[in-house]
Amino acid sequence: MRKKRNAWDECSCIFTQKLHSNLFLIAFKMNHQTTLTIALNSYQKAIVQTSHSFTEVLAGPGSGKTSTLLQRVLHLVQKAEVPCSPDQILVLSFSNSAVNNVKVKLAMRQECQSERERNVDLRKVRVKTIHSLSLHLGGQKNKSEFLGEKARRQLVQSALEQVYEAANKLPKARRTLRQAFLKGVRSNNEGLLQLLQCIDLMAVSGGKAKETIANFGFRHLERRAATVEAVARAYGEEKRKRKKWDHSDLIVQALDAMRAGKGDLKNIRHVLVDEYQDCSPLQTRLLVEVGERVGSLMVFGDPNQAIYSFGGGRYSALTQWMKGVETLSLPKSYRLNHPHVDFLNAFVEGGSIEALSQDAPDQQALTRVIADSAYRAYNSVGGKVQRLLDAGCLPQDICIMAREKAVLAPFESALLMRAIQTQRLGLERDLSDIEAVAQLMAVAEKYSDKEVFESKIRGVCATRLKRPFLDGDIQEITKRLRSGFRSTSCEGRFIGCWKAYCWLIRRGQGGEAVTHIRHELARWEVVARQCENAAELLKKVRAADARQGVITSTIHRAKGGEWRHVIVVGMTEGVLPSWRATTDTLLAEERRLFYVAASRAIETTAFVCHPHTYPSSHGAVREVRACVEQSSFLKPKKLHSKMRRVALRASS
């Protein structure tokens, strides 16, 4: 199966294999030399040179946050009052991709150093994820016993059911209240996440729900402390019974080790944290403990880009956790032009981003496209991308992003109709599946004899199965292929073949394995519509794959990236903001998600509003299945003057 990777994961693989390759370093230097050698502005100098022990840096989009962090490392090593060696600096981040980002930039900065500075090896700086640090402090765990996020939620659901059943023994009034609360939590994803966060923090505070709820602001749980404690006990018992552990156990074990004086931090003098806004409360507690033990802690983050609450992230200012914290800001953006800065400052109450350049505002930088049908939106985006490419823009400088993958898929198909390939961030695409389907089509087109047909089909499909080929398989797939070939069009035959192929893959590898294959094959249907047979289809597929692809991405995956031109699709009420955002907390996260999308572009951003219909299997209630209204995030009049409006209607 294809492996999900993002851009920095791929870069990390190259970095690991070719760290000492001059050609690689020169190529990387060409792309990042500006970032590495740019002069520090006054805000950055204050951060780099501060002598304060505990500091929180509030960094705006494109403000050079990671570069400032690297300059802080250089200052500590070379220019501080008491310089330290690189291996005495610990850099932490929320994700593997962010860690790889820092590692690659440290290696590049090492190559850019002068001869006098070369005696300091910046690659010795310790760069870890917070969970990697927890393993280092608390000891190793058996990975086979690890609970992923999905399995963890299932275990909590099981604990909720146990407490729900146990409540039957309580007096009627208490039973009714407890069961009503538990029922609400089970059906509310946000409530489940907050309950998990509270349980994690209880492990740190000795299992006292009342104290945890009061100290960490879980106000909606104030009257449910006894119930929360019961769920926490049941969850702990379930983990012990199944001999499982999760990330919270890892951090709790690290905290216990530090409090017992066993944590190995003796050689660390400075701790710097990137992407602080994505930390969970439990991770923040560990950072505070580490910072207080070491005596030096600096965190970088942007509260307006805290978009991972579904994974446990919950931003809280460092001043809420520690005393004597200095708060500094990085408001000046190297990425955003004046129109984008004005737009974001108007969108966020009290926004204070500053544009670096003094260029006159470009009225074409932001566009609001309102289409009365999805087809016109697909055609408009395809036309815009085509014009950008014809003007000499590189495909990798264009990004189409959306709140959800399902919204992106038809736009990717519309680009394929124009022979424009796309590359989805986090998804490595290959031609093995589409080639297998094309071969099935070719066999069905060429051979009518049953025995020859079945022999050829067996040869095409056997390599894709991870178990012996069964007689029932060949009979069923032959039946499905014959049914698909009743269609007279190449598109109809292609659809029949890829559905039969996916059935075969599901039989061999399970339902989850076939999901990405189905989505990948379905996007080629529009190409099959333009072909006469399997050979022509395969030729067009290979020609499209040989070209560099335009970037497509979900907004979550695009966070941290930047492109010259960004097109945000699905700007429809019910899509962004999501129909699931039924509380103020969830709606605030949707606003931050839009903020991230609107701050990715260097030159232009287009917001495309178009109707979108969710399938009945999606889980959306009937009232919100059809989303047609323009997103409420684009409705405020103070934003209208900052965008050019384009309407796409039947008469246009």
Give CA–CA dist 370/649, Å, rounded: 8
Specify the domain boundaries for CATH 3.40.50.300 within the chain: 41-138+253-332, 366-407+419-426+549-648
- According to CATH, the topology of domain 41-138+253-332 is Rossmann fold (3.40.50)
Instruction: Establish whether 496 is an annotated binding residue.
Output: no
Instruction: Establish whether 60 is an annotated binding residue.
Output: yes
Count of beta carbons in the 10 Å neighbourhood of residue 138: 21
Instruction: Establish whether 613 is an annotated binding residue.
Output: no
Q: Where are the alpha helices (DSSP H) in 391-484?
A: 405-417, 432-446, 450-462, 471-484
Give how far Cα 215 sits from Cα of 202, 352, 592, Å: 11, 30, 25
Beta pairing, strands 270-273 & 354-355: unpaired
Instruction: Establish whether 479 is an annotated binding residue.
Output: no
Contact 485, 444 (CB under 8 A): yes
Listed residue (410, 400, 415, 423) closest to 555, CA to CA:
400
Query: pTM for the complete prediction?
Result: 0.79
Give CA–CA dist 280/588, Å, rounded: 17
Beta pairing, strands 270-273 & 332-333: unpaired
Instruction: Establish whether 483 is an annotated binding residue.
Output: no
Three-class DSSP category at 54: strand
Give CA–CA dist 509/115, Å, rounded: 55
Beta bridge mates, 54: 297, 325
Give CA–CA dist 29/105, Å, rounded: 10
Contact 368, 609 (CB under 8 A): yes
Listed residue (22, 190, 1) closest to 107, CA to CA:
22
Q: Per-10-residue mean pLDDT for the chain, 652 residues long? A: 38 37 35 52 90 91 87 85 85 84 81 64 85 79 71 86 90 88 81 79 69 71 86 87 80 82 80 88 87 91 86 82 90 88 86 67 78 90 93 92 90 87 81 79 72 68 57 68 73 82 70 70 84 84 81 91 93 88 83 93 92 66 68 86 74 47
Q: Architecture of 366-407+419-426+549-648 per CATH?
A: 3-Layer(aba) Sandwich (3.40)
Contact 9, 100 (CB under 8 A): yes
Q: At what angle do helices 172-186 and 149-166 cross, to 10 degrees?
A: 160
Instruction: Establish whether 64 is an annotated binding residue.
Output: yes
Contact 389, 577 (CB under 8 A): no
CA 515 to chain centre: 19
Give how far Cα 437 sits from Cα of 142, 399, 466, 498, 545, Å: 40, 29, 18, 6, 16
Q: What's the pLDDT score for residue 39?
A: 76
Three-class DSSP category at 89: strand
Beta strands in 73-143 (DSSP E): 89-93, 126-129
Tell me the two tokens of residue 219. Answer: 């106000």
Q: Which long-range contacts (CB under 8 A, 24 or more apart) does 137-145 make?
A: 137/253, 137/254, 137/257, 137/258, 137/262, 137/263, 137/264, 137/265, 138/250, 138/251, 138/253, 138/254, 138/256, 138/257, 138/263, 139/253, 139/257, 141/245, 141/249, 141/250, 145/243, 145/244, 145/245
Q: What's the pLDDT score for residue 327?
A: 92
Three-class DSSP category at 121: coil
Beta bridge mates, 369: 608, 646
Contact 57, 330 (CB under 8 A): yes
Residues 6+ apart with CB under 8 A from 16: none
Beta pairing, strands 601-609 & 270-273: unpaired
